Amino acid sequence: MQTLPYGSWPSPIDAALAAAHDGQPEYVGFVGDEVWWTEPRPAEGGRRALVRRRADGTQEPVLPAPWNVRSRVIEYGGRPWAGAVVDGRPLVVFVDFADQRLYRYEPGGVPRPLTPLSPVGGGLRWADPQLLPGRGEVWCVLEEFTGDGPADVRRVLAAVPLDGSAAQDRDAVRELSDGAHRFVTGPRLSPDGRRAAWLGWDHPRMPWEGTELVVADVGTVLTGARTVAGGPEESIAQADWAPDGSLLYASDRSGWWNLYRDGTPLCPREEEFGGPLWKLGHRWFTPLDSGLIAVVHGRGATALGILDPESGEVVDAAGPWTEFAPTLAVHGERVVAVGASPRSAYEVVELDTRTGRARVIGAEHDDPVDPAYYPEPQIRTFTGPAGREIHAHVYSPHNPGCVAPGGRPAPYVIWAHGGPTGRSPLVLDLEIAYFTSRGIGVAEVNYGGSAGYGREYRERLREQWGLVDVEDCAAVALALADEGTADRDRLAVRGGSAGGWTAAVSLATTDVYACGTIIFPVLDLAAWADGETHDFESHYLESLVGPREEVPGRYTERSPTEHAERITAPFLLLQGLDDVICPPAQSERFLARMAGRVRHAYIAFEGEGHGFRRAETLVRALESELSLYAQVFGLNPPGIPTLELAK
């Protein structure tokens, strides 16, 4: 055991190792008896690979690089593939990221495009496909740009022929819905094929604020569309049909996303059976043929369970997993999900509902280093302004071979998650371990506005963005300092996207932090509201800040770009040059006003969008962030390139 200062502990978890394990499996599904899913490939340009698990347990990518199975609908994307066994062979349709066309693929052949390119704006995009071989079609969400602006877009439900006849002919794509809503999810067909259900919503609402559940009759098109649940103040997160033809949906009408069957609550609890619909095709529940329902549910953390809709009882799967992602698939009595824990990254888990046995079947977690280097998180609840509770995960510095000399607490970094209607899950993250194994603590703050704790907790951020999130992060940081856990003089704040906003505003409006890391942020509210973002979030600020025509001053007063003189702490700003959600223009205006004033560094990455995916990007970002803390906190991490800070 060595006695070394915080921040100088040698660690086997380097930036390359953390980068190699970035991301998680998504969009599980069955193709016949086989389980398929997508998973990240940071070392292959950050692409998403479609992976199949054969009956003998072997796993293999379905398509070689550079095929990238990822949709750009609403920019955050959605389920990009669907599959079935047809004539004894797998048939798969998928979206390729490069051109956003929908492709048909049968293993052993080559992908063939089913949809055309469009020269207009962002082109034609597809998500949440439902493969219907009996109809010779795939039904999905079509996002079609009608001009060059981010708001020049329409979305409808559409049927694409599987024979390839629409590959060069937009007119061969049959539109199923009438475009009554600005945003839609993919259609779900009733067991008898006579009805379809989907979700729709319109500006200025986000889907976690208010959605409508629509049911229509199936013919050549969808007719007689009618709203059966939801509205401006009720969020339906997901809908699906039970085998008996009843309609299941997750609604937050009680203040929590609970499950309903034809309007009747099945398991009323103060916990969530749904979540924010950031991607089309998220699934928190799915019905089994037996009438039982597989559910991802919880308060804060999530579990995988089986709900009996007749008794309202839920039996959770036994196992080490403490967090499940919003993706589920069923086949017979098999349920497949994606779970993780503080000791394991996300992996594909199968639950046999006959035996209750759960096991890992894909993307298995394999410890790349001795698990003794992983941090041991604490689930904490702090007290914020006006006595409000703040949920957080605290990761103390931890290294089995090192201890710090007494006399001074550890440096800490406060992590603000994105969204801001999101949540930091309690799972193994090697980026956190990268810091904690070197002697730097991390605290993830699920500030007011975070998902997972009911609608009232989410609503704390209404018109309070830049206030409540900043106050809650500061309250956690100062509480850790007051109790002697963290060094009051060595606190930092970091975040990406909405978390980047929180980090920047924290530096501009508080004296809590000695430095900060700001990653692809929102920095200029007025410009963001004027079209400097994508369509999905273009009206988000009306709830986060307030209607601009009513409170125009807030858009100036809260923007860090407008108050560069208030920032005195050094910072690192990281930006993807292909980001259309928080574009480089936001960062560039901010930097222009910071010039000559504060030590900082700006790194812009070509080929990266909103969320870094390439291994080389992730490595440089992590090493640069550590170098910032080393310079400001007076640390000496071995082997880390020095980040040049300049005014």
Please, is 372 exposed, middle or buried when counting C-beta atoms within 10 Å of its C-beta (0-12, 13-18, 19+)? exposed
Q: Which residues pair with 183 in a beta bridge?
A: 201
Angle at 596 between CA 594 and CA 598, to 5 degrees: 60
* CA–CA separation, 98 and 151 (whole Å): 21
Neighbours of 389 (CB within 10 A): 12
Crossing angle of helices 468-482 and 498-509, in 10° steps, is 70
CB 53 within 8 A of CB 362: yes
- Which residues make Cβ contacts (< 8 Å) with residue 147, sequence separation at least 6? 120, 121
CA 510, chain centre distance (Å): 28
What is residue 564's predicted lDDT score, i.e. its pLDDT?
87
CB 550 within 8 A of CB 470: no
* CA–CA separation, 239 and 251 (whole Å): 9
CB 36 within 8 A of CB 69: no
CA-CA-CA-CA torsion for 495, 496, 501, 505, nearest 10 degrees? 20
DSSP state for residue 134 in the 8-state scheme: G
- Which residues make Cβ contacts (< 8 Å) with residue 75, sequence separation at least 6? 534, 536, 580, 581, 610
CA 90, chain centre distance (Å): 29
Angle at 572 between CA 561 and CA 634, to 5 degrees: 130
CB 153 within 8 A of CB 95: no
Reference 235, options 246, 248, 249, 247; nearest CA is 249
CB 78 within 8 A of CB 141: yes
What is residue 406's predicted lDDT score, i.e. its pLDDT?
86
Token duo for residue 303: 């579990």
Sheet holding 357-362, edge to edge: 323-331, 334-341, 344-352, 357-362
Reference 470, options 486, 453, 443, 493; nearest CA is 493
CB 522 within 8 A of CB 586: yes
In a 13 Å sphere around the CA of 554, the CA atoms on its Cβ side amount to: 17
Helix (H) or strand (E) holding 603: strand 600-605
What is residue 518's predicted lDDT score, i.e. its pLDDT?
98
* CA–CA separation, 69 and 569 (whole Å): 41
* CA–CA separation, 322 and 306 (whole Å): 16
DSSP state for residue 38 in the 8-state scheme: E
Residues of the chain with pLDDT under 70: none
Neighbours of 642 (CB within 10 A): 10
Reference 374, options 422, 436, 424; nearest CA is 436
32, amino acid identity: G
